[in-house]
Amino acid sequence: MDYQKLFSLEGKTALITGGARGLGKAMAEALAQAGANIVIVDMEAASAEKAAKELASFGTKTLGLEVDVTNELQVHKAIDRVVSDFNELNIVINNAGICQKISIEDQSLEDWKKTMDVNVNGVFLISKYAGKQMKVQGGGSIINIASMSSFIANTEAQCAYNASKAAVAMMTKCMASEWVNDNIRVNAIAPGYMKTDMTKPIFAPGGELAHVLDMVPMKRLGEPHELGGLAIYLASEASSFVTGSSFVVDGGYTIW
């Protein structure tokens, strides 16, 4: 068995939502280094195009697209554009998401719906149209970004986020079940507390969530690149017998 070939993504095309920064960009970089063409989807055109240009340095073809994942027409057009430019869509990472730390009694219905719209409906819409394309072409891999919060209730108030990510974990199983005979594998990565430009100040000494690190057995935040290897595995033929699974990457937080 040639294991390097098994993990290779040469000739594949991957679409990453929310891929212009943070965890999404880190996973996009990992797939690019494994040989995949990369499509960055983001709410901001300039950010998507900038990230795509940077990733082109790995020698693969890239594209940046401005897409609101909650807008069905935009999603449909984006998938059509990818197929037009790259002929196929082999890999999707549903990474776009938001988290509002608001107590239940203080959260407006509008804010609740916003979280569900991005975190749940966005995953549904991208997966729906990607799945249709993958079915036509004979298969593919969809990777949903769930959360350790899909399975536990965090100490801070974020009910809407937790509920939305629990939905993503269940959607992963449902999609995997529906598409198993179409050679479309659907899995999820469930990160714990990760270090990004947005979260670093919150977890720094004296920050709002600095105390949370005491509950992480490894006593640190995860680094964005620590999701990259798993993303390559799930995107590649190395995980050909894996579908409907959620992989928790949390430094041991959910051990207890």
Catalytic residue set: 161
CA distances, 47 to each of 50, 203, 218 (Å) = 5, 25, 33
Please return the burial class of 219, using the count of CB atoms within 10 Å of its CB with bins 0-12, 13-18 and 19+. exposed
Using alpha carbons only, how large is the chain's radius of gyration in Å?
Answer: 18
Q: Tokens 């198993």, residue?
A: 180
Other CB atoms within 10 A of residue 206 CB: 6
Name residues whose C-beta falls within 8 Å of residue 186's C-beta, 6 or more positions apart in sequence. Answer: 127, 141, 142, 143, 144, 172, 175, 176, 179, 243, 244
Alpha carbons 127 and 186: distance in angstroms, whole number = 9
Mapped onto helix, strand or coil, the DSSP state of residue 14 is strand
Phi, psi of 219 (to 5 degrees): 60, 35
Mapped onto helix, strand or coil, the DSSP state of residue 43 is coil
- Six-digit token string for 225: 């690149």
Name residues whose C-beta falls within 8 Å of residue 138's C-beta, 6 or more positions apart in sequence. Answer: 183
Say how many Å lie between the first and final Cα of the chain, rounded: 38
